[in-house]
Structure 1
Amino acid sequence: MAPPPPLLLLLLPLLSTAAPTISTTTLPLYRHLPHVAETAHHHPLSRLAAASLARASHLRRPAHHKGQAGTASATALYPHSYGGYAFTASLGTPPQPLPVLLDTGSHLTWVPCTSSYQCRNCPTAAVPTFHPKNSSSSRLVGCRNPSCLWVHSAARLAGSNCTTGAVCPPYAVVYGSGSTGGLLIADTLRAPGRAVRNFVVGCSLVSVHQPPSGLAGFGRGAPSVPAQLGLTKFSYCLLSRRFDDNAAVSGSLVLGGGRAGGMQYVPLVKSAAGDKQPYAVYYYLALTGVTVGGKAVRLPERAFSANAAGAGGAIVDSGTTFTYLEPTVFQPVAEAVIAAVGGRYKRSKEAEDGLGLRPCFALPQGAKSMALPELSLHFKGGAEMQLPLENYFVVAGRAPVPGADAAAPAAAEAICLAVVTDLGGAGGAGDVGGGPAIILGSFQQQNYYVEYDLEKERLGFRRQPCAASSSSSMN
């Protein structure tokens, strides 16, 4: 990779704006899925399955790096190319609108920055970038600013000749299949009725294998959007994937908010690993059981709670598409699904091999529907998430067969369990080791209103249609 441009010449430390005003905000959340040709190597579902596994690998064993309460605000959420959901944030003075991915599995927010931004092995789509020199409120973060400790250890700063006026050293963040790096800046973040000055964000100058957008960290910790905005609550409603091709329809992201009716609540559990990163960033759920077809699945203890090293437990993550289950959890769940189907439908090896999802069942010729078992998640306190069929099975269409002749007949249409695991042995996300045993992904959360009550340490949910035609944005 070519070295980044001279960092200090790209950014201007300028004056900050006036104090923030606090109000309620709702923002649209959008899905954005560029066309992907259905070839033997690039079926859209296989790409999502692979991306989910890469994400799980990062959340379970990421590379080592350091990376007054307001009332409600809401924005639109749109799903992004690798299965995430994006909203538009406005940064700077005057405000510059930027798409950012909602990510509850990390806490640092970053945006592509300056006209010299480089992204290697990235989508070819144009990348909206932030230009600090065009913002009168933008300034570099100094190495003695407490926020510099968000991305560097105290020992690292002590050995870096950190003097008064020196800039916080460049950061590097490594994700499951890519990375990003740059400098921390502070600027004004704006939302309808809200302006938060000195919001600290990563000004990324170089990225590898990243989507054409920035990332908004909504995980636990001081760098996160909720912490910097002083939120005690945020919520989202994730748009159904059946609207993938309709850019005019969105879900929503709510910053703050009052009491919501009809909710079931689950205790949010702090990481048993304490402040150990990255586990302290995650939202762990007090899961107590899984049922398939009304029958409890016998799962290992690590499915329900993590140990002091961070191994085990269940987390909720907006950035993972298909739910990830560690092999020791996936195997009994998959076996229960197969047993509940009871031989009514043939397994589709072609779909399983082509997509990386399993089990898959071939759709009988001429059939318009299939009888499939219910899947429910059970939580401490009695809450139950009885998933609708479309949230845990996915219609695979005509799945490509790797290595097959292009002129050969296509595989029969199939329906597959929308859950991923890694049975490949050492080095994979599915090794029985560190990290969460269950990662509840966004596919399973579609058409649910999900509330993160940070003050009461609980997660609320209720089923509801999330589609809305909205043009509101964070500006």
Structure 2
Amino acid sequence: MNSYLSRFLCLSSLLFLFPSISSLADNKSIAVTLSLSKFNKNPSSDPWQKLNHLASASLIRARHLKNPQKSSLVYKTPLFPHGYGGYSISLSFGTPPQTVSFLMDTGSDLVWFPCTHHYTCSNCSFPNQDPSSISNFIPKLSSSSKIIGCQNPKCGWLHNSDVKSRCSGCEPNSRNCSQMCPNYIIIYGSGSTAGILLSETLDFPEKKKPNFVVGCSIFSAREPSGIAGFGRGPSSLPSQLRLKTFSYCLLSHSLDDTKESSLLVLNGDDKTTGISYTPFVKNPTTGNPAFSVYYYVGLKKITVGGKTVKIPYNYLSLGSEGNGGTIIDSGSTFTFMEKQVFDLVAREFETQVKTYKRALHIEALSGLRPCFGVSAEKNVSLPELVFHFKGGAKMALPLANYYSFVGNTGVVCMTVVTEGLVGTEISVGPSIILGNYQQQNFHVEYDLENQRLGFRQQSCGK
């Protein structure tokens, strides 16, 4: 890592020759094409190894969300291949605009892209794809690119509020300080990225947003594509655009690539009927600062086959320091549950399912549990999994959203993960993380103006 960082620090001093900027009208609807991430194929031909990989990636993502690392120069997180089923969007930055692909992530806030021709991605896999085809942003080709200065208040979005005290060679009240904002390092569940902050123009077809803070990453580990942070932090896309709402409908996927797409809608007037709403839970004010980025929701109970799983209250409730509670995250594939919660839910399935025999060998190979052998059954019948939220909203999952067939083995496994698959248990952070696999074929609305989450089951295909 040190050799990469030294290379990054060297490159960051050679990058730029920058000038000026333009304008935007707020609160108008913007639609962006949303598609399955195209670099998320798992090259393994063994279906249970593929599920094991996805379960591992989801769990590592959960471990990061539960115990996110501060932006520092130290890696303390395991690095996994970028093989989970993410969803990507395309955004254009610069003057003239350059279009870049991003993973949409509601569990983080910074928007960043691979930057310059010298972008380095360590331990990145590019199955069936030339690494040079990854879209990079080239700052010197944009007349609106500017480096964020150390004295700029926006520099504090990624660094501590006392960042100005670390501006070497600048007077405390100087208006002419040329020192740039310190380099950032962002750590995700499956990788990390490092770079410098830019002020750029975000270019939509009929609107422009000048002075948008975006990360210019020069080095990444296991993160070949840029990430568009949609979390609740000040640097996220919704925060910088001052969105009142955003919504999406995630296509059902088979853990592979597809050319089909659905829509991510920014600031749309949602005319979808039959939406159930639950209020966002106020973010913790103490504990890990990263918890302030998450979308917490009030999960009251979980039922399996109509029977309430008796989950201790401290797991469902959000503590003052960010422990416990539930978040919704588009960047996780499989839903994560704290081991004590998962064991109760899994045991209820194991107790209620009498028709099918447990496939213990597949459980050992895939890392998922419980798995059942359904052989050649055309119509598989398993207990219904329902999440019940404050305000009366219920998310009743179709079977395809919480059980998956393992290749052609005639076995189905529950697509929920818990601690024990990778590393030791982390007892801090959210107890439950609702992943995108469970959100398939649901219209999901983030009503930021009214501080609530809405959802309705529907087909997301064309």
> TM-score scaled to structure 1, two decimals?
0.87
User: How far 1:306 moved relative to its partner?
Assistant: 1.6
Q: Would you say 1:383 and 2:387 are equivalent positions?
A: no
Tell me the amino acid that sits aligned with residue 20 of structure 1: L
1:175 matched residue in structure 2: 188
Q: Which runs of 5+ in 1 are unaligned?
A: 68-79, 399-411, 469-475
Find the aligned partners of 2:255 and 2:318 in 1 and give their Cα distance.
36
Match of 1:9 among 11, 14, 17: 14
1:161 matched residue in structure 2: 168
Match of 2:54 among 45, 48, 51: 48
Tell me the amino acid that sits aligned with residue 298 of structure 1: K
Superposed, 1:452-463 pairs within 5 Å as 452-463=446-457
Seen in structure 2, the aligned counterparts of structure 1 residues 42 and 350 have a Cα distance that, compared at 3 Å, is: closer
Match of 1:61 among 61, 67, 75: 67
The C-alpha deviation readout for 1:368-390, integer Å capped at 9, x for no partner, is 22210001010111111111110
User: Are the equivalent residues in 2 in contact too, given 1:104–1:218 (CA < 8 A)?
Assistant: yes
Q: Would you say 1:238 and 2:250 are equivalent positions?
A: yes
**RMSD value over aligned CA atoms?**
2.0
Tell me the amino acid that sits aligned with residue 196 of structure 2: L
User: How far 1:156 moved relative to its partner?
Assistant: 4.2
User: Are the equivalent residues in 1 in contact too, given 2:90–2:99 (CA < 8 A)?
Assistant: yes
1:346 matched residue in structure 2: 357
Find the aligned partners of 2:239 and 2:421 in 1 and give their Cα distance.
38
Number of matched pairs: 435
Tell me the amino acid that sits aligned with residue 105 of structure 1: G
Find the aligned partners of 2:405 and 2:162 in 1 and give their Cα distance.
52
User: How far 1:190 moved relative to its partner?
Assistant: 1.4
Look up the SS of the partner of 1:184 in the other structure. strand
User: How far 1:97 moved relative to its partner?
Assistant: 0.6
Superposed, 1:296-445 pairs within 5 Å as 296-342=308-354, 344-364=355-375, 366-398=376-408, 412-423=409-420, 428=424, 430-431=425-426, 433-445=427-439
Report the identity percentage: 45
Q: Would you say 1:140 and 2:140 are equivalent positions?
A: no
Tell me the amino acid that sits aligned with residue 111 of structure 2: T
Q: Would you say 1:448 and 2:445 are equivalent positions?
A: no
User: How far 1:309 moved relative to its partner?
Assistant: 2.0
User: Are the equivalent residues in 1 in contact too, given 2:92–2:203 (CA < 8 A)?
Assistant: yes
User: Are the equivalent residues in 1 in contact too, given 2:114–2:218 (CA < 8 A)?
Assistant: yes
User: Are the equivalent residues in 2 in contact too, given 1:103–1:317 (CA < 8 A)?
Assistant: yes
Superposed, 1:193-208 pairs within 5 Å as 193-208=206-221
Q: After the TM superposition, which of the residue ranges 448-457 and 190-199 deviates more from structure 2? A: 190-199
> TM-score scaled to structure 2, two decimals?
0.90
Look up the SS of the partner of 2:240 in the other structure. helix
1:116 matched residue in structure 2: 118
Seen in structure 2, the aligned counterparts of structure 1 residues 466 and 370 have a Cα distance that, compared at 3 Å, is: same
User: Are the equivalent residues in 2 in contact too, given 1:144–1:162 (CA < 8 A)?
Assistant: no
Find the aligned partners of 2:368 and 2:325 in 1 and give their Cα distance.
23
Q: Which runs of 5+ in 2 are unaligned?
A: 74-81, 171-176
The C-alpha deviation readout for 1:21-50, integer Å capped at 9, x for no partner, is 343211111113554343569832222111
Tell me the amino acid that sits aligned with residue 143 of structure 1: C
Look up the SS of the partner of 1:279 in the other structure. helix
Find the aligned partners of 1:460 and 1:117 in 2 and give their Cα distance.
39
Match of 2:266 among 255, 259, 269: 255
User: Are the equivalent residues in 2 in contact too, given 1:12–1:140 (CA < 8 A)?
Assistant: no
User: Are the equivalent residues in 2 in contact too, given 1:36–1:42 (CA < 8 A)?
Assistant: no
Seen in structure 2, the aligned counterparts of structure 1 residues 28 and 244 have a Cα distance that, compared at 3 Å, is: farther
Q: After the TM superposition, which of the residue ranges 33-42 and 316-325 deviates more from structure 2? A: 33-42
User: How far 1:13 moved relative to its partner?
Assistant: 2.4
